[in-house]
Each structure stands twice: as structure tokens, then as C-alpha cells.
């Protein structure tokens, strides 16, 4: 998933994965070919290398209103689990806002 041009995304992925797994002892990551979903009871977040320079960190936030950074994926209307995403282009983008949305997604899957 992080070979070739996407190799520069690996530090971002590593930090997002650590952050996701720290949400609780019940969190599991299940890497697939194109995404890495984070599970509790259901998928509450996903790490997806969207381009060679960006990872989309997706969240299962139901009908939460989007903000300037939190983008509605249209998933709620389509009954998809991942309803919102935040584009991450560097480890500096993984700030308190990203951590709050991840925590909220984790708690919504209780």
C-alpha cells in the first residue's frame, strides 16, 4: 500500500495507526489492499491513501455536521459506515481536532 510514490505517506500512516489503536484495548486494525479499517464493534475509522500526497482519515460519525476540515463523504445518505473524512498531508495535520473526531467516532461505536 505504501510502495513507490506513496512511500512518503508511511510516517503519516504509522502515526494514524498508533493513534487509532490507542483509543482502547478493544480496537483492531484489519489492513486490506487499499484501506486500513479500525474496528471496535464495527468500523469506526479508516486510513486510506487517497493520492500520492494525501491520506484520507475517515470516520463513522453518522449525521454530524461537517466543519471546515471535516468533510461529509455522503456516506450517511448512502448508509455507508464512513460518513466523514479529514485529508492528511503531513504528520503536522494530525492535531487535536483530528484526535477529537477519532475519539468521537470510537465512542459512537460503543
Q: What is the mean pLDDT of residues 80-95?
A: 96
Spell 28-66 as b/e; 16+ CB within 10 A means b: eeeeeeebbbbbbeebbbbbbbbeeebbbbbbbbeebee
**CA pair distance 44, 40, nearest whole angstrom:** 7
- Note the pLDDT tens digit of each residue in 16-30: 999 999 999 999 999
The domain total for the chain is: 1
- Note the pLDDT tens digit of each residue in 38-59: 999 999 999 999 999 999 999 9
Percent of the chain exceeding pLDDT 70 equals: 100
- What confidence tier does 37 reach under pLDDT thresholds 50, 70, 90? very high
Domain, as residue range, for 39: 4-108
φ, ψ dihedrals at 32, nearest 5°: -115, -170
Judge whether residue 79 has pLDDT over 90. Answer: no
Of 77 and 44, the one with more pLDDT: 44
Judge whether residue 76 has pLDDT over 90. Answer: no
The pLDDT score that the predictor gives to residue 74 is 87
DSSP 8-state class, residue 8: G
**CA pair distance 110, 107, nearest whole angstrom:** 5
- What confidence tier does 94 reach under pLDDT thresholds 50, 70, 90? very high
Contact 91, 84 (CB under 8 A): no
Amino acid at each position: 500500500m505504501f510502495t513507490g510514490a506513496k512511500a512518503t505517506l508511511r510516517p503519516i500512516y504509522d502515526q494514524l495507526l498508533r493513534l487509532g489503536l490507542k483509543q482502547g484495548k478493544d480496537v483492531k486494525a484489519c489492513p486490506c489492499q487499499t484501506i486500513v479499517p479500525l474496528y471496535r464493534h464495527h468500523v469506526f475509522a479508516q486510513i486510506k491513501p487517497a493520492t500520492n500526497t494525501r491520506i484520507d482519515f475517515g470516520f463513522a460519525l453518522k449525521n454530524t455536521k461537517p466543519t471546515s476540515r471535516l468533510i461529509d463523504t455522503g456516506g450517511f445518505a448512502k448508509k455507508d459506515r464512513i460518513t466523514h473524512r479529514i485529508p492528511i498531508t503531513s504528520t503536522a495535520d494530525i492535531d487535536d481536532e483530528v484526535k477529537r473526531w477519532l475519539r468521537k467516532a470510537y465512542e459512537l461505536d460503543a
